[in-house]
Structure 1
Amino acid sequence: MSPSKTHIFLIGATGYIGGSVLTRLQSHASANTFDITALVRSAEKAKVLQEKFGVKTVVGSNEDLDKLEALSEQSHVVFSCADADNLPAIEAILRGLRKRHASIGDLPILIHTSGTGEIATPAKGMFASDTIYSDTDVEQIKSIPPTALHRDVDLAIVAADEQGYARTHIILPSTIYGQAKGPLFDAGVSNPFSIQIPNLIRASIGRKQGGVVGQGKAIWPDVHIDDVSDLYIVLFDAITTNPEGVGHGFEGFYFGENGEHTWYDISKAISKALVELGVGGTDEPTSFTDEELAKYWGSVDAGNYSGTNSRCRANRSRSIGWKPKYTTADMLVSIKPEVALLWEKAQKEGGVQLSTSRLHFKKFDGSSMEPTTKSSK
């Protein structure tokens, strides 16, 4: 007898995180038991996904609320990897899961992508915060202000869990780095690059000098794309193996981090790379002016986000068997080749492309990695 299929709906398959998660699902030991459907904006990419990779596709976006609702209702597991701040989209997904629970009685699973921007606090790069969040400290997680970045979406997701019609789990990646690799990326279907560090590199290339917000003293965690995509699969496996033993709702926040860095650390590595590549400047980063923050990030406030504090420990993530391999030292080593790649691209394009940072300044934490038609990522 053939095994029953697990119906999975994945949003963000053409993105950085979503493409990495889909790659893991396709190489999973139980891949032959998965029936995966992806919502994809591009009809061309949808065709490649379906014909070359055997993924069912529906052409649409997170603005197509009826499609989100219907596809969620048809799925036992939903991976939401496309937008951490689209409340109408998540409400449509939750309506679909509620309908599924009411009609067939199962308890559908939602694994949503948020980000550690949710715990970020202003510093303008001038100081490091002593506050460190743990994903096992439920009261601390509950204390995050409702006005925090991504929080309205995350609270709606927790409410669904508390109402009992879905089991919800929220992954909060930090500064994601590294080039995503695999067949989906080789085929040009999914975006292989992150946002946060590349934005700082682009701004530094634009001024031909490594830049930093303030003095770069504020601290963020970091995580490699391979490690964070592994976290999704470790969580998925834990849920499907022992659903009662895996934290959900307010006990279902899972940080993605394996070390932390100051913003200065990143800017220093960018500065050194620019000097070694002959682009210009000195190997010591200089502070961005307000005019430069507005130029490269769209506004001063958006630029100052690269000087916030966001500190956490992924204790719950590790408790379910997640074992990240890459460290902050690996992140710093990865910067020079990324600088070289973006410098080469800027030369070919005749200048620095600013659209990415302006469109996505709210999502530097990696919470939304799906490219848009207006963004080169």
Structure 2
Amino acid sequence: MTTSIFLTGATGYIGGSVLARLLNHPSASTFEITVQTRSPEKAKLFEKFGVKAVVGTNDDVVQLEGLAEQAHVVFSCADADHLPAIQAILRGLRKRHATLGDLSTLIHTSGTGVISTPAKGMFASDTVYSDLDVAQIKSIPPSAMHRDVDLAVIDADEKGYAHTFIVAPSTIYGFATHALAEARIANPVSIQIPSLIRASLDRRQAGVVGAGKALWPDVHIDDVADLYIVVFDATTADPEHIGHGWEGFYFGENGEHAWYDISKAIARAFVELGLGGTDEPTAFTDEELVKYWGSVDAGNYSGTNSRCRADRGRSIGWKPKYTTKDMIASIKPQIEWLLEQGRK
């Protein structure tokens, strides 16, 4: 039996990594994969990997609706905050259900920013979320980051025309080393830690928001991509008995760090690489937060608390390998890579 898969965000860090795993999946010969890309050049490259590529963007809602309607499974790995795009995908899945009567699967990408709370780096929160605690997940306010899109996804499941799942990665790190990244089709690095590195490079001193005391979870790109496949395999094997909707929410984490830990690692690497500054990070000023992130509020994101445990993924067989220690060790190579890209 052929499984029709539509994946958004295929040229991205997460989407490209998920797609690479689908191409190497034991059942890959039964998959018909379609992706969307804004680049005609990359569309041609995708074809070389046996992937059908359609040129378009998240704003092409009619196209998204049509592509979703044709799919047994949709991986939504693009913009976690693009409500019109997810609404278009859901319209397509609703049409498919009305026409064929089957239940498609939607695996949507959110993020642990949904549980983040302001701290400006000055304190650690005591609240820790578990994705097995449905009441706790339901208590997240509608005004939270990503929440409007997440609620639309869950609503589709409650209305009964799709089985929906949400994967919420945390601070993702590590180089994506799969074939799509090596072919320069997909982004090989995250935007999270590199944004702090780039700001620190510009000011020639590692920076931190406030005192860096706030806490966040972390996860390696390989581990979080594996989580998508574990969820996909579980729902493919037994779609009626794996939780979905409110019971299909999966955090991606395998450790926890203070923001200071990241900034301290950047500072040490700067000293070791002769890039200037001291081995102790200094606080970003409000002017710098505006300069590097567009606003004080946006800059303070790297000083929020977001604490969680990925209990649900582990309960269905997800076994992440990389730890916070690996994240800290990855920072110096990321700095060297960014410097090399700058020279190119």
Counterparts of 1:162 and 1:110 in 2: how far apart (Å)? 13
Percentage of matched positions with identical amino acids: 73
Counterparts of 1:245 and 1:336 in 2: how far apart (Å)? 44
Counterparts of 1:63 and 1:113 in 2: how far apart (Å)? 17
**How far does residue 344 in structure 1 lie from its aligned partner after superposition?**
3.4
The answer to whether the 8 Å contact 1:121/1:308 transfers is yes
Counterparts of 1:257 and 1:104 in 2: how far apart (Å)? 37
In the alignment, structure 1 residue 30 sits paired with structure 2 residue 36: no
Structure 1 spans left out of the alignment, 5+ residues = 350-377
In the alignment, structure 1 residue 293 sits paired with structure 2 residue 289: yes
The answer to whether the 8 Å contact 1:205/1:343 transfers is no
Give the aligned partner of residue 20 of structure 1: 17
Counterparts of 2:2 and 2:86 in 1: how far apart (Å)? 25
SS of aligned partner of 2:80? coil
Q: Which amino acid aligns with 1:233?
A: I
The correspondence for 2:185, drawn from 158, 165, 189, is 189
Give the aligned partner of residue 358 of structure 1: none
Q: Which amino acid aligns with 1:114?
A: S
Listed one character per residue, the Cα deviations across residues 213-261 of structure 1 (whole Å, up to 9, x for unaligned) are 0000000000000000000000000000011221111111000000000
Give the aligned partner of residue 264 of structure 1: 260
5 Å matches for 1:116-155? 116-155=112-151
Structure 2 spans left out of the alignment, 5+ residues = none
Q: Which amino acid aligns with 1:264?
A: Y
In the alignment, structure 1 residue 250 sits paired with structure 2 residue 246: yes
Give the aligned partner of residue 157 of structure 2: 161
SS of aligned partner of 1:295? helix
Give the aligned partner of residue 6 of structure 1: 3
Aligned residues: 344
The correspondence for 1:42, drawn from 39, 44, 57, is 39
User: Which structure is higher in RCO with an 8 Å CA cutoff and minimum separation 6?
Assistant: 1
Q: CA RMSD in A?
A: 0.7
**Superposition TM-score, scaled by structure 1 size:** 0.90
The answer to whether the 8 Å contact 1:107/1:165 transfers is yes
**Superposition TM-score, scaled by structure 2 size:** 0.99
Counterparts of 2:190 and 2:155 in 1: how far apart (Å)? 30
5 Å matches for 1:81-230? 81-230=77-226
Listed one character per residue, the Cα deviations across residues 125-177 of structure 1 (whole Å, up to 9, x for unaligned) are 00000000000000000000000000000001111000000000000000000
5 Å matches for 1:314-333? 314-333=310-329
